[in-house]
Amino acid sequence: MRKYIVLLGALLMVLSSFYIMYKINQPVVGAIGNGTIAPMVWVTLIFTAIGGVFLLVFGILLFLKENKQKINREIKR
Structure pTM? 0.77
Residue 39 has pLDDT above 90, yes or no: no
**Residue 57 above 80 pLDDT?**
yes
Rounded to an integer, the average pLDDT of 40-52 is 92
Q: What is the pLDDT of residue 8?
A: 94
Mean pLDDT on 24-44:
80
| Residue pLDDT, tens place only, 3-24 | 899 999 999 999 999 999 998 8
The 8 Å CB, 24+ separation contacts for 14-23 are 14/49, 14/52, 14/53, 14/56, 16/48, 17/45, 17/48, 17/49, 17/52, 18/49, 20/45, 21/45
More confident residue, 53 or 74: 53
Kindly list the domain boundaries of the chain, sorted by start residue: 2-76
